[in-house]
Structure 1
Amino acid sequence: MRDAFDLDPGRVHLNHGSFGAVPRAVTQAQAAFRARAEANPMRFFRVEGPGLREEARHVAARFLQVGPDEVALVRNVTQSASVVLSNLAAQDRLGPGDVVVVGEQGYESVRRSVVHWCERTGASYAVVPHPVGLDDEGLVDAFDRMFADVTGEGHRVALVIVDQVTSPTGSVLPVERVCALAREIGALSFVDGAHAPGHLRFDVGSLGADFWTGTWHKWGFAPRGTSALWVAAEEREHTLPLTTSWNHGQPFPYPFDTHGTDDYSSWFALDAALDFWEQAGGFGIAKRAIDLLDGAADLLGSALPAVDPAVAVPLSPSPCLRLVPLPTGVAATLEDADELYLALSDRDLEVQVIPYGGQGWVRLSGAVYNEPEDYERLAEVLPGLLPGVNA
């Protein structure tokens, strides 16, 4: 599997979850579409492009097991969040007295989008506390309490944003239950499923969300810029792309199919990416990752100085991500985490280092190209980079 990628063989790559890695066969498929565009730009953009974009959307819909009229292709999850928030603002469904509720472990760029649109509309936002060791019941109760606090102050919960898999800790959240609570109080719900496609088995339509978004560049092997926005039937008429272009005025999702002259080759290569995913094991990739990461976490825990036993770990880790605590005081701030990451990278180890809840962590990925020796190398190098530990 490692030979199927163009990853630098001189480095250990343990952070597939952030930016993914595109297999060589998929980059070749994308390059072929780009070559067609350059061979005859006029015909490609005028005649072939519209059909290819629609075909790519059908590929996405089939994988998600939804109808092609339910899902739009977009560049990334952050764009999806901006689409939803901007449309609510344009429809006067987000303004003074309205509150957007987000989880503490939500993705930072999505939170910044929320801040931006609240500032523009006069709405406000509230953050649901989410310590690392919180179980599903505790998280659902935390959202429920936040809804009660907001409405008790005379405000309206306009939108609830909840992550299917959290970025900082790699935890799988009970999004169906949170969406159900939101619906009970008349709020819309938006599920950030950035890590979900190719990683988790799920039915988009059964989540109970009004909006769901996910991307294939993390666990689906697609080129970056290949993401989807699913919209519930009652919201499709009101959901427009950020760019008004040739398909303006057509029903959802056609206005999303084009946003001007651009390179859509990443979308066109989605079919090749999903073929690779299937051949590489499909959901068996995630099953393999569980065993791989179990061993990696044990190995790293044995190699590192003792961690405070009071430090909790995620109770519902996703199959392909694992959070391992660092000793107290190590990488507990963003500055220190960045410094440790750079020290690891300087030693040819690409690993995500995260500060969360006053505690430093390494978030390991279990990608199809990872092997036990990758984590053994990390266990050899990391202790020597920690304060007070001899190299």
Structure 2
Amino acid sequence: MDDPRTAARIAPVPLLSYDRARDAWPLDPRIVHLNHGSFGAVPSEVVALQDALRREADLSPVGWFPRIAEKVEAARAEVAPFVGADAADTAFVPNASAAATVVYNALQLDRDDEILVTDHGYGAVTMGAARLARRFGGRLRTVALGLLDDADTVLARFAEAIGPRTRLIVVDQITSSTGRRFPTAEITALAHEHGVRVLVDGAHAPGLIPDAAVAGGGDWWFGNMHKWPCAPRGSALLVTQAPDRDELWPLIDSWAATEAYPARFDTQGTIDATTYLATPAAIAFIEREHGWDRTRDTVAEIADAGARIIAEAFERAADEPALVDLPMPVPSMRLIRLPLGIGRTREEADDLRMRLFDEVGVETAFTSFAGAGYFRLSAHLYNEAADFEAFAERCVPRILELAGR
């Protein structure tokens, strides 16, 4: 590393019970982990708790499944305040895309009604919106937002886009492909002035934004707990106070179907609800070991320093700025430009991700926006200087080679 001060800023993070945060996660030391934002990482003690819960279910299925609703209800009561919500407004769902599907399934449109999405939207959620529009002969229209548009400009774009047939807006609180925030609460207020409803995709928001559901606004909000809160995969929240929320149904019809929202979501046959039940422990782990406010500050420092290491490696070869100075940034995610011709589409970006994993053992996230490729860095407490140095040493030369540099 050229600058020892940079290394100092991303020295191993000490936790209350660990000298190094890395030791609290069961991550393979042979792999460089620089993509927390996609699939998360579960602390060892939370893994152990989920294993114990599964073991309890296996030892006595009849003692487990008939009582699962009360267990899930108790977990909801613990988790909902973390996103600023009331348990009575909050349902567990398997993931963010499932939450979007639950909402889409409840909506009805008239022919030629319009749904607005953005060109930063998560692909699966946008696909669901398109299916909703097709089902009723409606239209899906994309609001184009510049990568560097500030909050006022984003709001102005929506003000221009809302028309007499607009019925629904689907917008990200934190974008997956570009790693920035949008002013969703202000967009919601604007939409409501026109009688338009808003679905806020807060997949990345829990843990990164305090009281994320309240901050997000929207008629419906959803967020993943397996990302920054480090819960087991398969844990997400759907939050709504919408007057028609009793039209929301789980993706699986089960014996709780006669219950009102959200209780009808607490029982869904034999699904593995241990993901939900272990979620409170994941949230409590971060709070106990480092504190959530402090964690947001720490991961921001790690992401800043790590992004600088990687950007400088690209800049030495290309002699052009690599680090993107995003408006409305988030604590743990940074965007770094790839050389021209690399990662221009989602398919190319995904291929590059797996190529580098297979060839050099680095877990990454590459994204594309407006025909350009980016490395989306996403860090957590367990990341250290060596992780970012490994990307600079192993990945940057290979990327430059693929780009013909």
Where 1:161 maps in the other structure, the secondary structure is: strand
**1:32 corresponds to:** 52
| Identical counterparts, % of pairs | 35
2:198 is equivalent to residue 179 of structure 1? no
Where 2:366 maps in the other structure, the secondary structure is: strand
**Do the aligned partners of residues 98 and 365 (structure 1) sit closer, same or farther apart at CA in structure 2, a change above 3 Å counting?**
same
Please show how residues 2-81 of structure 1 align to structure 2 within 5 Å. 2-46=22-66, 48-81=67-100
TM-score (ref. length: structure 1): 0.92
Deviation at 1:59, TM superposition (A): 1.4
Deviation at 1:207, TM superposition (A): 4.1
**Do the aligned partners of residues 101 and 390 (structure 1) sit closer, same or farther apart at CA in structure 2, a change above 3 Å counting?**
closer
Deviation at 1:175, TM superposition (A): 0.7
The residue identity in structure 2 corresponding to 1:283 is D
How far apart are the structure 1 equivalents of 2:29 and 2:96?
A: 30
2:335 is equivalent to residue 315 of structure 1? no
**Residue pair 1:200, 1:283 contacting (<8 A) in 2 also:** no
Aligned residues: 380
Deviation at 1:321, TM superposition (A): 0.5
Please show how residues 75-114 of structure 1 align to structure 2 within 5 Å. 75-89=94-108, 94-114=109-129
How far apart are the structure 2 equivalents of 1:43 and 1:22?
A: 27
Q: Which of 126-135 and 337-346 deviates more?
A: 337-346
Q: Deviations over 1:197-224 (max 9, x none)?
A: 1111135345441100011100011011
TM-score (ref. length: structure 2): 0.89
**Residue pair 2:338, 2:375 contacting (<8 A) in 1 also:** yes
How far apart are the structure 2 equivalents of 1:228 and 1:332?
A: 32
**1:133 corresponds to:** 148
The residue identity in structure 2 corresponding to 1:108 is G
How far apart are the structure 2 equivalents of 1:57 and 1:248?
A: 18
For structure 2, the 5+ residue unaligned runs are: 1-20
For structure 1, the 5+ residue unaligned runs are: none
**Residue pair 1:280, 1:368 contacting (<8 A) in 2 also:** no
Q: Which of 55-64 and 33-42 deviates more?
A: 55-64
Deviation at 1:327, TM superposition (A): 2.1
**2:236 corresponds to:** 227
Q: What value does the CA root-mean-square deviation take over the aligned residues?
A: 2.0
**2:138 corresponds to:** 123
**1:384 corresponds to:** 397
**Residue pair 2:207, 2:228 contacting (<8 A) in 1 also:** yes
The residue identity in structure 1 corresponding to 2:34 is L
Deviation at 1:192, TM superposition (A): 0.6
Which of 233, 243, 246 is the matching residue for 2:252?
243
Deviation at 1:239, TM superposition (A): 2.3
**1:286 corresponds to:** 296
Deviation at 1:243, TM superposition (A): 2.6
**Residue pair 2:307, 2:323 contacting (<8 A) in 1 also:** no
Where 1:42 maps in the other structure, the secondary structure is: helix
Where 2:149 maps in the other structure, the secondary structure is: coil
**Do the aligned partners of residues 306 and 137 (structure 1) sit closer, same or farther apart at CA in structure 2, a change above 3 Å counting?**
farther
How far apart are the structure 2 equivalents of 1:125 and 1:389?
A: 35
How far apart are the structure 2 equivalents of 1:218 and 1:311?
A: 23
Please show how residues 235-274 of structure 1 align to structure 2 within 5 Å. 235-274=244-283
**Do the aligned partners of residues 388 and 42 (structure 1) sit closer, same or farther apart at CA in structure 2, a change above 3 Å counting?**
closer
Where 1:82 maps in the other structure, the secondary structure is: helix
Q: Deviations over 1:131-174 (max 9, x none)?
A: 21111111111111111xx32xxxx2111111110000110111
Deviation at 1:310, TM superposition (A): 10
The residue identity in structure 2 corresponding to 1:82 is T
How far apart are the structure 1 equivalents of 2:146 and 2:234?
A: 31
Deviation at 1:389, TM superposition (A): 8.0
**Residue pair 2:324, 2:335 contacting (<8 A) in 1 also:** no
Q: Which of 114-123 and 304-313 deviates more?
A: 304-313
Deviation at 1:112, TM superposition (A): 0.8
How far apart are the structure 1 equivalents of 2:236 and 2:385?
A: 31
How far apart are the structure 2 equivalents of 1:208 and 1:183?
A: 11
**Do the aligned partners of residues 388 and 176 (structure 1) sit closer, same or farther apart at CA in structure 2, a change above 3 Å counting?**
closer
